[in-house]
Structure 1
């Protein structure tokens, strides 16, 4: 028997009313004067708690960075086993080396530096979201999402490049977008130079920002000024990068711009055992015959082996492209591996770590879904955001994907794009919620204005 029309109308009205109340209450919470201070306090507390109450011994890449930084602090230079090295870019271990020289050779010094840089990212995300999306609700929600993002929290204790590099990216973009004076332009060049010493692929990002600046300018007479400032940024970056290239050339006897692992990275993703991720246990990979004292020649061998394999297996190389993208974007929460390897009581509490990992994965998928929804909403809502700056995050995601499908896909490589994914997801949620609120509010007004029969 179908429901009575009046009963159905009342039911729908109640559902709309409850939906309106819940959404309205949530937006009121976001609008609270204490929301940002509370978020900031929770942000710091969660990350500091891991540092002080969940001690983890560095392993794998983190251990390598730690030991190289200690060598630098001791005056032994960027070296491994007594030999000069440039295997990984010097940016992060060099930064740690300076900290260790000034404050002592303790990993806690580096972990606290990570905490301070994470805090810096918190405020940079606040300013960038507020200026680009022009929505205080979006800004506040993005801070909440960043605050409780488990993988971001977990990385604070680990001596890996992700927190440092992400902070530099956000800072460089902020300085270029928000500040227009020459001193800020030069500072952004300095920041991008340090970021390039950490991950060379950032080299092209300032050029993208200059292009966006040109596209956003209505006054054509500022074109020349924008181009000159772009050139200035790259000149400052050159001043940062050239001394390191000179050092490498003197040490290795040939030109090495930043690092000696490009060939090895290419080979690890393009070999007979390749599955889209980082593969080292393959006979072809072993043929690079790596040694620290012979790292330049080893890198050359690796590059030649990888290129030859791609030439001999073009169909397999093409088939690996989507698999590499999958390994880059499908999973999150890889910080758990570091705790599995370095936290003494991991086996006792493995179920807690694994539960957090699953919660993080759900959270991450929702963020990506929100980013995709935001891309759709932007089609008809360009006037609500600052164009084309809102596209920076999407360009970064695409750029990271392009690099990964050539080399290899690893989930930690998408870490620098996550602040932008959070911004997009927050904006999409606010847009959707505001639209439903407006729709429900209009329905309620219509219902109240309709006379009873």
Structure 2
């Protein structure tokens, strides 16, 4: 499969070191491509609150409108740099991107333990390389949005969790993965559904019939999550004299998106004034109650309207580089139509490879974990809304399957009779899913 020099380079990890260094250089190089990123849209909130947190400290800082994880990261960078230097944040996120590439390589080795080591290394390199050069990831590592930081935590958390699963006697890996998932939940609150619900369920199911061992490991994992979230929940209790797990962003987003979906003619501007009149101590619960009241009044309409949000995972193939680059007036889409269409095709091909890779992969236990994460994401998008940038943390976890698909397809084409050995049921499933996805996605790509 490989020549002697390539095999030696793989065994000594020279190639992944090269990819990691190239990732850092490419992301850092975006400083010259976009020397100044306008602090607009949600970025302004992160910068403003990062400055306040750095100046006031956690005790005096009263903000709780968003999950605080990324604000902690921005504030830490401001404290280290000595002032509010956004350039320092961009360099730090470039370093996170390089670390993410290494973690993605490690995650691939843990996800495909049943295949040959050399082939597994090639798959990991390909996944890391695709991540390194994808324009969407390059662009977002230079903005003050939470994507680069959240992706770093998410990939590392998955890596630690699978490491714990493969080496079950070392309980501290479960604790460490729980800590990382807790940090990721403080950055994106919707992850609590996956971390506190689906991961423990996955641990129990994959240990059957020895369910007690699964429960024990799930409890250790949950302890790690609690160790991170509980101090911040206590901080909220001190400030509000009421229980609030992380922030009131969840209730706010759920109510607003539900009201927009079920009340024709309503705008965000019309809904916002009412938020200021709510008691901060009960605001989150009240907003959730209002949202559920609207849902119960029109349940069928709500389901039909909201079903379009998760479907955008495979129909909204626009590149984040163009969506947010144009919004920040860094890119003029009209002058780069070829690139725009090319990136849509890239995302569609990547989606097809992911589908094939998931169907062909043999380890059902690892696939179940990925399926649970996809299900948690779909539930979050269904309850609230989907944005183009939400694709990035979802896609990166499935890059190993896309790389596996590419390597396997090349191997089958080069090996006589390999295609005949494929399971016909798997081929049928892959064909049906590919037909469904491409039937909906191809018109979107053609519309570019």
Q: Distance in 2 between matches of 1:367 and 1:292?
A: 47
TM-score (ref. length: structure 1): 0.78
**Deviation by residue 1:165-209 (Cα, 9 ceiling, x = unmatched):** 121122122222224434333322221221121122323444544
Cα pair 1:260 1:296 within 8 Å, conserved: no
Q: Distance in 1 between matches of 2:374 and 2:179?
A: 23
Counterparts in 2 of 1:224 and 1:314: CA distance versus 1, 3 Å: closer
Out of 284, 302, 312, the residue aligned to residue 297 of structure 2 is 312
Alignment partner, residue 29 of structure 2: 49
Q: Distance in 1 between matches of 2:353 and 2:262?
A: 31
Tell me how far 1:284 sits from its aligned partner. 6.5
Out of 315, 326, 349, the residue aligned to residue 366 of structure 1 is 349
Tell me how far 1:342 sits from its aligned partner. 3.5
Alignment partner, residue 132 of structure 2: 147
Alignment partner, residue 122 of structure 1: 101
Q: Establish whether residue 393 from structure 1 lines up as the match of residue 376 from structure 2.
A: no
Counterparts in 2 of 1:35 and 1:230: CA distance versus 1, 3 Å: same
Question: Which has the higher Rg, Structure 1 or Structure 2?
Answer: 1
Alignment partner, residue 132 of structure 1: 111
Out of 412, 416, 422, the residue aligned to residue 435 of structure 1 is 412
Cα pair 2:261 2:306 within 8 Å, conserved: no
Alignment partner, residue 175 of structure 1: 160
Alignment partner, residue 322 of structure 1: 307
Q: Distance in 1 between matches of 2:74 and 2:313?
A: 27
Out of 233, 242, 255, the residue aligned to residue 254 of structure 1 is 242
Q: Establish whether residue 303 from structure 1 lines up as the match of residue 280 from structure 2.
A: no
Alignment partner, residue 439 of structure 2: none
Alignment partner, residue 74 of structure 1: 55
Cα pair 1:374 1:428 within 8 Å, conserved: yes
Tell me how far 1:358 sits from its aligned partner. 3.1
Tell me how far 1:297 sits from its aligned partner. 5.4
Q: Establish whether residue 339 from structure 1 lines up as the match of residue 325 from structure 2.
A: yes
Matches of residues 108-257 of structure 1 in structure 2 within 5 Å? 108-133=87-112, 134=115, 135-179=120-164, 180=167, 181-206=170-195, 208-217=198-207, 220=210, 224-257=212-245
Counterparts in 2 of 1:262 and 1:212: CA distance versus 1, 3 Å: closer
Cα pair 2:262 2:301 within 8 Å, conserved: no
Q: Alignment partner of 1:198: what SS?
A: coil
**Deviation by residue 1:111-130 (Cα, 9 ceiling, x = unmatched):** 12211211111011101112
Cα pair 2:207 2:214 within 8 Å, conserved: no
Q: How many residues align?
A: 402
Tell me how far 1:268 sits from its aligned partner. 3.1
Alignment gaps of 5+ in structure 1: 1-23, 444-453
Out of 42, 60, 77, the residue aligned to residue 99 of structure 1 is 77
Tell me how far 1:312 sits from its aligned partner. 2.5
Cα pair 2:67 2:247 within 8 Å, conserved: yes
Tell me how far 1:219 sits from its aligned partner. 9.0
> Greater shift after overlay, 223-232 or 128-137?
223-232
Tell me how far 1:314 sits from its aligned partner. 2.1
Q: Distance in 1 between matches of 2:285 and 2:408?
A: 51
Counterparts in 2 of 1:314 and 1:293: CA distance versus 1, 3 Å: closer
**Deviation by residue 1:224-249 (Cα, 9 ceiling, x = unmatched):** 44432321222232232222112212
Cα pair 2:157 2:178 within 8 Å, conserved: yes
> Greater shift after overlay, 183-192 or 250-259?
183-192
Tell me how far 1:65 sits from its aligned partner. 0.8
Tell me how far 1:414 sits from its aligned partner. 2.8
Cα pair 2:309 2:385 within 8 Å, conserved: yes
Q: Distance in 2 between matches of 1:130 and 1:396?
A: 19
Q: Distance in 2 between matches of 1:163 and 1:356?
A: 23
Alignment partner, residue 253 of structure 2: 265
Q: Distance in 1 between matches of 2:367 and 2:205?
A: 13
Q: Establish whether residue 289 from structure 1 lines up as the match of residue 274 from structure 2.
A: yes
Q: Which runs of 4+ in 1 moved over 6 A?
A: 27-32, 440-443
> Greater shift after overlay, 433-442 or 403-412?
433-442
Q: Distance in 2 between matches of 1:225 and 1:106?
A: 48
Tell me how far 1:71 sits from its aligned partner. 0.6
Tell me how far 1:404 sits from its aligned partner. 0.9
Cα pair 1:51 1:156 within 8 Å, conserved: no
Alignment gaps of 5+ in structure 2: 421-448
